[in-house]
Structure 1
Amino acid sequence: MTQLNHPILEKSFAIIDAEVGEHHLSSQEYAIARRVIHTTADFDYLNLLQFSSNAIASGINALRQRTPIITDVTMIKQGIITLVSKTFQNPIIAAVEQASIADSGKTRTETGLLRTYSQYPQGVYLIGNAPTALLALCDQVAESPIKPALIIGATVGFVSVVESKQALAALDVPQIRVQGRKGGSPVAAAILNALLVLAWDHDQSSR
């Protein structure tokens, strides 16, 4: 069986477990939060992460079916490619790489995201950098009969960040959000990597 977690990572998890103690999250939600805490050293994520009722199950199912994974920026793609290659080998597409020039009035990431969504509306979406991309995605999802398997909304910063997450929260779509201004590419990658481990463990235990 492929060992996905390095022994040093498991040691870090044990330290996090000891510091967290009792918590309100389910075992799967905590597995995701713990990996984000490991990445950020920020225990606020125990409360900042928000999960829709079917988000984790939908994400696990999509990953096991090798559903394409769409990231807003290349950094997230690089942050998940190792575990993806060790597990289900899903296609990974960085939206920003799909647009060498931005459409008028849009950012490159937003432009690439819109192009990618037209091809993969059912994909797993990780938005950890560009609020314009998350807002554009939310607009498309609201109008489309086909919904993404999962949206991870972890935009970071000050301009349109909270608004982009509020737009996601208003949608009836499987989602994992980071409340407030915190987030970023490492956080989005950590959430997806934790889901990959959960999906892989599920796959191995069912054999």
Structure 2
Amino acid sequence: LSFYAGVYGVYERAHLENTLDRLGLRGVLDERVGALPVGWRQRLALATAIVHRPRLLFLDEPTSGVDPTARRDFWDLIYEFVAEGVTAMVTTHYMDEAEYCNRVGIMSRGRLLALDTAAALKKQALPGLAWDVFAEPLLPALRLLEGLPGVLRAGLAGDHLRAVTRPEVRRGDLTRPLKAQGMQRVRAARVEPTLEDVFLALAGE
């Protein structure tokens, strides 16, 4: 950290001490960087990025490989920097993290496909309706759902299926064919679209 501070011409010991405290790094001062867990190495990388008090901060997947608690801590720190007037540009493949940003750019294969607030993207970029569909057994239900009229895309989502349909599709259009094929515990519910839905719609994947 002292090395990077020197590269940027920062020699104030008090500022280095403050950076260590802010990133919670005092507990690992005697550790070799290569021996640190991924989460701690990410914290150190963030410390080297802010040690010279930048007004513009580029963070390339800063939470990749860290646990959920560490991810939340990172975003708390990013919010603190933004509150102090820093502009933060963050790349992430976690769509739930993108929701934290004031503006979101959707990119695929090097092309910027859309740029707006998360709420606006979900309202404008999704071509239809989003549904959570429950049925057993799951994989046969998925294959059937993918072939139904009006279904633009369907996929697994944990213990259920996620479908995006044309606006005119109704709940019964999804549940009746599943029940007719002997699927059990069939139900479907309209849900708010996610940025993942938006990305898949825009990227055509």
Q: TM-score, normalised by structure 1?
A: 0.23
Instruction: Return the structure number with greater helix share.
Output: 1
**Which structure's residues are more often strand, by fraction?**
2
Which structure ranks higher in relative contact order (CA pairs < 8 Å, sequence separation ≥ 6)? 1
What TM-score, normalized by structure 2, do the two folds share? 0.23
